[in-house]
Structure 1
Amino acid sequence: MERLQKVIAHSGVASRRKAEQLIIEGKVKVNGAVVKELGTKVSGSDKVEVSGVQIERENKVYYMLYKPRSVISAVTDDKGRQVVTDFFPEIEERIYPVGRLDYDTSGLLLLTNDGEFANLLMHPSNQIEKTYVARLKGVPSKFKIRELEKGIKLEDGMTAPAKVKVLSIDKKQGKSIAEITIHEGRNRQVRRMFEAIGFPVQKLKRERFAFLTLHGLNAGEGRELTPHEVKQLRALAETGSIR
């Protein structure tokens, strides 16, 4: 189920704001009945008409991108900075990112026009694992790593237990590289977790999202997900296992 104004906007009939205005003015019908409530949600089987004309629904599409650093996880930016949808100029559908990666974080990001699918993957209760590789200032001890594994208190509450391992240590440079797997998606969470134990992140990359990896992609490249991958992701979010 998606909000009516969002469905109208994705069809290309009007912007989201204009769609809201059309709804309020009584110019939108769902299954033959006028709808004026902005919170109304519709399914893919509902018939939506705007000013007497039935809208054409977009085909659902699913992509992954190796997001470079210094790119915004959004469809537009008021400061004119590069956004993730700039890497898909040939795509006619209005895709948007599933969740986000920080401006200075690179790695695997999904994009789609399927709101139900996006919400399913982003909901923390569905525990989709995301794996990051972080270059740290300093070398955390096993005790400090254990703090992250148990869950650590941040300003917005305790984190869920994480999977963490140190991949390499450079004592001369006073740096280390660690891998961390979480299933939450709070703002700048991985960076804040390492800062909380005293080891700031100097560079961060998301290597995996569920079973998907960046294999075969360079920074700035993307590809369409296969129907089987989409089915697996949906099953993983809904049941916790791949069918």
Structure 2
Amino acid sequence: MRLDKFIADNSDYSRAQVKRLMHKELVSVNGEVVKDPGFKVTEQDQVLLDGEPMRSLGSRYLMLHKPKGYVCSTDDPEHASVLLLLDDRERFGLHMAGRLDLDTTGLVLLTDDGQWSHRVTSPKHQCQKRYRVWLDEPLVADAEARFLEGVQLRGERHLTKPAQLERISDTEVLLTISEGKYHQVKRMFAALDNKVVDLHREAVGALELDPDLAEGEYRPLTPEEVASLV
């Protein structure tokens, strides 16, 4: 990849601004000042911008513990995006691999790898998501069987795919689903004449939210974690 493009893609500088920085000898590759915008860099190269290392080439994969009050979007005029929870230099080029509602907490995956995020979110791949759900009313006795058979959501032509429900108490459950319709968890319990009062995503596929991450914190995924969702 061209050096000027690499820096522009991973910073808030334009290509023209990067060229001016290079002219001022503020860019180095592997310890050598580089002034040629077309200089080619690879995954093995260390790029410094004004003495600060930039991330290496290659895809990025992060897990974030989403708090309430943030949206998994970049174009909501009323609410802050989860991307604002990331360091300035981390957020460029990333997108959410699956979304959570404004008032839902828990595991959000972020990446710049479109193929990987497609595998995570595509209904064809049926990647399971596990939620901890707190309800307004005691759960009906046959909820497990009804979710396993599929329920009819308002405005939908087809039943939901089979879902696994584990009862923790009459008003707290674990729900595992393999699809991601709009407000699906809330609508599923609404179909049982109940209301979700709190919702937290604990896991996507085999990947569980790191218990050491406080709300608003994030960390890179390990190669093993990335591979677990392929």
TM range (shorter): 0.7 to 0.9
**3-state secondary structure, aligned to 2:229:** helix
- Asked if 1:227 is matched to 2:220, the reply is no
Once the two structures are superposed, residues 150-182 of structure 1 have per-residue CA deviations (whole angstroms, 9 ceiling, x without a partner) of 10011222100000021023xxxxxx1111000
Moved over 3 A (4+): 10-13, 53-58
Q: Partners in 1 of 2:107 and 2:162 — Cα distance?
A: 22
What's the Cα RMSD here?
2.7
Q: Take 1:209 and 1:104, find their aligned partners in 2: how far apart are those partners? A: 18
CA distance in 2, matches of 1:92, 1:190: 28
Q: Percent identity?
A: 32
**1:133 — aligned with what?**
132
Task: Give the conservation status (yes or no) of the 8 Å contact 2:84–2:91.
Answer: no
Q: Which amino acid aligns with 2:85?
A: F
The answer on whether the counterparts of 1:153 and 1:159 sit within 8 Å (CA) in structure 2 is yes
Q: Rg larger in 1 or in 2?
A: 2
Query: 1:55 & 1:187 partners in 2: Cα distance?
Result: 43
Query: Does the Cα contact within 8 Å between 1:11 and 1:56 map onto a contact in 2?
Result: no
Distance (whole Å) between structure 1 residues aligned to residue 132 and residue 97 of structure 2: 20
Question: 1:198/1:160 Cα in 2 relative to 1: closer, same or farther (>3 Å)?
Answer: same
**1:213 aligned to 197, 204, 208, which one?**
208
> Partner of 1:191 in structure 2?
186
Residue 141 of structure 1, CA deviation: 2.5
- Tell me which residue corresponds to 1:42: none
The total of aligned residue pairs comes to: 183
Question: 1-side partners of 2:41 and 2:73: how far apart?
Answer: 24
2-structure distance, mates of 1:101, 1:56: 36
Q: CA deviation at 1:12?
A: 3.7
TM-score of the aligned structures, taking structure 1 as reference length: 0.68
Does residue 160 of structure 1 match 2:161? yes
In 2, Cα distance between equivalents of 1:74 and 1:149: 31
- Compared with structure 1, are the counterparts of its residues 220 and 195 closer, same or farther at alpha carbon in structure 2 (3 Å cutoff)? same
Aligned equivalents of 1:147, 1:180: Cα separation in 2? 13
Cα deviation digits, residues 129-153 of structure 1 (max 9, x gap): 1000111011122313321121001
Report matched runs for 1:90-105 at 5 Å: 90-91=89-90, 93-105=92-104
Q: C-alpha distance in 1, partners of 2:121/2:39? A: 31
- Corresponding position of 1:44: none
Unaligned runs of 5+ in 1: 1-7, 14-52, 170-175, 235-243
Alpha carbons of 1:116 and 1:100: their partners in 2 closer, same or farther (altered >3 Å)?
same
Q: CA deviation at 1:124?
A: 1.0
TM-score, normalization by structure 2: 0.72
Q: Equivalent residues in 2 for 1:22-101 (5 A)?
A: 59-79=58-78, 81-89=79-87, 90-91=89-90, 93-101=92-100
Aligned to 2:150: 151
Check whether the contact 1:11–1:55 (CA below 8 A) recurs between aligned residues. Answer: no
Q: Secondary structure of the residue that 1:65 maps to in structure 2?
A: strand
